[in-house]
Amino acid sequence: MNIHQVLQLSGEAFAAYGKTSAAQRAIFLETIAAALETRREALTAITHEETNLPAARLNGELTRTTGQLKMFANLLREGSWVTAAIDTADAQRTPPKPDTRKMAVPLGPVVVFGASNFPYAFSTAGGDTASALAAGCTVVIRAHYAHPRTSALVFEAMQEAVKICGLPPYTIQHVTAPGNETGKELVTHPLTAAVGFTGSLSGGKALMQYAAERPIPVPVFAEMSSINPVLLLPGKLKENAAALASKMAASITLGMGQFCTNPGLMIGMAGAELDAFLEQLKTDIAQFSPQPMLHEGIRQHYETCATAIATKQQVRIVADQTAMIATISAQHFLDDPHFREEVFGPFSLLVQCNNKSEMQQVLNSVQGQLTATLMATDEDLLEHADLLESCVRIAGRVIINEVPTGVEVCASMVHGGPFPAASDPRFTSVGTSAIQRWVRPVCFQNFPDHLLPEALQNANPLRIWRTVNNEWTNT
């Protein structure tokens, strides 16, 4: 089946799937979760062979994946995500005020590109797919070449759920054809309504360009590049530099550094406390037991990028056996933009600043990020309020005294940020509000009540929270 046929079938399926009720879609998502659970043992065994990830990590990630499917099912049942708003007519006003009602409706067929570093949670049945299906969109999944058997087995579970729930057979489709041209065809097809992507900056920018050059452009929601700066403020270093170093070492090496929230940049004030931190970090890194990386392509790219950093004269290598820790002065960091590029893997660069002003300059030089972290005492936060403000400006998630690795799946999470962390800083790829990427608002004016969607009918049969004449109500 060629790409044109795939999208044609997705468009036909959307004509029916887009009209399903929230309750139907909630049951569907839960059925997918159940089908994945029945395949847990087979899945984790196959994925371990394909990715080198240990069983404990895979089981945890699979639980996260089924959990986020159930989370979106709960969101659908609660219902307020459609942001229903009603303004009733007022014939006595001059001019007369019409009856207008607004809610979110699904965009159409969505293309999702599976990610390599999270073969469950960000891949075939991951957050992009789950949120798009929840919104009422059909999905075409581009399987990631690094775990093809995993992707096929996950798709099998999803197809089983489609049949059990009596949904159109092409509600979800699975594309395994290799090559960049396949990706381009998926994005540029006229029936593609939106795109979800987690991966490299170059890959995300290519998809964004394809989408922008279409006769009718479509949104690409891409999560791409982030070095996740961590500010090591003086009071916190003085309080316990050794403990802080141990915490950072664990974060840098977690999963062989193959997390998009890996702390690739640390910024601190030069001095005895930072020297003690660096010495302890070196000791802790040396005790780390390396594991094989996800696949050969990632390993080669990591070694190329790490070597490019290591060979620069301005850099001093602190550790380079199991993970690479390098350090550089603030001025040299500011002089060379290559130091602000992501090195995907167990790597972190420590920038040593002479004063608070240099710390601010270094942070200001960094582009959009998924996360920004402050390791700080209360006094540090008071004395460095400008740094906190800059963190809010550049990052989707700002953290105090916790490492950035680890992304909680919940309503308040933001996994996104200004470019190049993500293609659109207004949205998140993790958490319940991820559903907002796949919908658009529609206003229904002067409709008879029986023709309105249930979410906008006078009796509110769904009992969802909505605004009626600017007041929140669920009656």
> Which own/partner contact pairs does 38-42 have at CB distance under 8 Å and 24+ positions apart?
38/157, 39/153, 39/156, 39/157, 42/153
Residue 426 · residue 414 · CB < 8 Å: no
- Could you tell me which of 114, 166, 117 has the C-alpha nearest to residue 140? 114
260 is catalytic: yes
* Helical packing angle, 40-51 and 55-78, nearest 10°: 120
Catalytic residue among 30, 137, 185, 260: 260
Catalytic residue among 30, 61, 185, 223: 223
Strands 265-269 and 347-353, bridge-based pairing: parallel
* Helical packing angle, 40-51 and 22-38, nearest 10°: 70
223 is catalytic: yes
Residue 16 · residue 177 · CB < 8 Å: no
Query: Distance from CA of residue 384 to its chain's centroid?
Result: 29
Active site residues: 223, 260
